[in-house]
């Protein structure tokens, strides 16, 4: 990765795994490899072409079906087209198309789109099958995921605002939760897509990141991050109302929660890291992604970024546009309660 190249998380590419990614020596991997060796990699992921014919064809010798077969075979990336068959009184024609590439190859997903663009007069072409369905899933997730992230972050910001009555704090907290998730996505890309240290996970080489893994990781990790965030901010807010000093509040909140957050994170990282020992690549992705995210969240985010940004923002953390009157304890009460900070210990992180 050169200095000018985008970070790994920004280049996350979604795909689909196939039996060729199973452990070497397994029955599924052996049969997959034998079929690919004997008949070409595309035999493991044929595409089902279904065409609506209007008006109905009298037989397979219909010129429209002949042209359809010719157009399908001429499409780049097609290795073989099975004879066209008719059904439903000549209104539906079907054909099996074998790609030049395997089911998990990005070229196969591109071929699905190319086949759907085939045009023949009186024939409307559709492409289905397991391989096409999973390619469609990856594309749909890729299109919708930014919207899902935006909605979740937006709703979380609203809920944090309701809980803490501090818009700046709410926005900062919601956005900060994305740091650990971005780290997880970056590691998934670097390890599984680029192959950096992929052998350490027990795989023989790079594999596609399964399309649904990032979405599910986002849901799980954002919930965990928000849990840590609310736990920490509640302690900081309690100290803020007790002392009226933002730096003291941050220090006391971190000191009071650091040991618990770090201990819980250590347990989860250990458990999630154990998932990497599983033979299924998807389980490995979940385990590595969650272990990295929890470790980054508990150390870099909660131990460094959150307290640093809160210290820099100062009283702006607690600003509220509609608040009237005093927003911090009276000076004399703050001084009386500030002794709270004298007994604090640095957090264990």
Looking at domain 10-133, its CATH architecture is 2-Layer Sandwich (3.30)
How far apart CA 314 and CA 207 sit, in angstroms, is 46
For CATH 3.30.70, the residue range(s) in the chain are 10-133
The sign of the CA dihedral 29, 30, 36, 37 is positive
Beta bridge partners of 50: 94, 126
Which range has the top average pLDDT, 18-27, 101-110, 317-326?
Answer: 101-110
How far apart CA 190 and CA 204 sit, in angstroms, is 15
- Specify the fold of 148-343: Multidrug efflux transporter AcrB transmembrane fold (1.20.1640)
What is the predicted pLDDT for the residue at 347? 40
How far apart CA 121 and CA 67 sit, in angstroms, is 9
pLDDT tops 90 at residue 325: no
Work out the burial of residue 290: count CB atoms within 10 Å of its CB; fewer than 13 is exposed, 13-18 middle, 19 or more buried: buried
Question: Is 202 in contact with 280 (CB distance < 8 Å)?
Answer: no
Average pLDDT over residues 304-309: 93
For CATH 1.20.1640.10, the residue range(s) in the chain are 148-343
Average pLDDT over residues 312-328: 75
pLDDT tens for each residue of 106-149? 999 999 999 999 999 999 999 999 999 999 999 999 999 999 99
How far from 45 is each of 4, 17, 194, 282, CA to CA, in Å?
A: 37, 11, 24, 19
Query: What is residue 53's three-state secondary structure?
Result: strand
pLDDT tops 80 at residue 291: yes
């Amino acid at each position: 990765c050169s200095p000018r190249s985008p970070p790994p998380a920004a280049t996350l590419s979604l795909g689909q795994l196939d039996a060729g990614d199973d452990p070497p020596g397994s029955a599924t991997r052996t049969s997959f490899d034998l079929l690919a060796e004997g008949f070409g990699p595309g035999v493991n992921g044929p595409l089902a072409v279904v065409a609506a014919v209007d008006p109905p064809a009298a037989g397979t010798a219909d010129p429209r079906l002949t042209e359809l077969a010719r157009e399908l075979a001429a499409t780049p990336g097609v290795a073989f087209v099975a004879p066209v068959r008719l059904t439903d009184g000549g209104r539906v024609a079907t054909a099996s198309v074998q790609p030049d590439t395997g089911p998990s190859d990005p070229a196969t997903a591109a071929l699905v789109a190319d086949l759907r663009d085939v045009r023949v007069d009186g024939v409307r072409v559709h492409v289905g099958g397991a391989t096409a369905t999973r390619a469609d899933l990856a594309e749909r997730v890729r299109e919708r995921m930014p919207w899902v992230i935006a909605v979740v972050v937006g709703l979380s910001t609203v809920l944090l605002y309701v809980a803490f009555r501090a818009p700046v704090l709410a926005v900062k907290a919601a956005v900060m939760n994305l740091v650990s998730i971005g780290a997880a996505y970056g590691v998934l890309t670097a390890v599984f897509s680029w192959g950096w240290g992929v052998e350490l996970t027990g795989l023989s080489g790079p594999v596609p990141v399964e399309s649904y893994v990032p979405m599910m990781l986002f849901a799980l990790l954002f919930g965990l991050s928000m849990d840590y965030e609310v736990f920490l901010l509640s302690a900081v807010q309690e100290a803020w109302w007790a002392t009226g000093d933002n730096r003291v509040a941050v220090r006391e909140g971190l000191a009071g929660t650091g040991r618990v957050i770090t201990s819980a994170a250590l347990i989860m990282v250990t458990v999630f890291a154990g998932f990497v020992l599983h033979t299924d690549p998807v389980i490995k992705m979940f385990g590595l992604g969650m272990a990295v995210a929890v470790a980054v969240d508990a150390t870099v985010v909660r131990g460094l970024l959150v307290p640093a940004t809160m210290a820099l923002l100062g009283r702006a953390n607690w600003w509220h546009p509609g608040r009237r009157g005093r927003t911090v304890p009276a000076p004399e009460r703050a001084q009386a309660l500030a002794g709270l900070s004298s007994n604090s210990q640095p957090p264990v992180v």
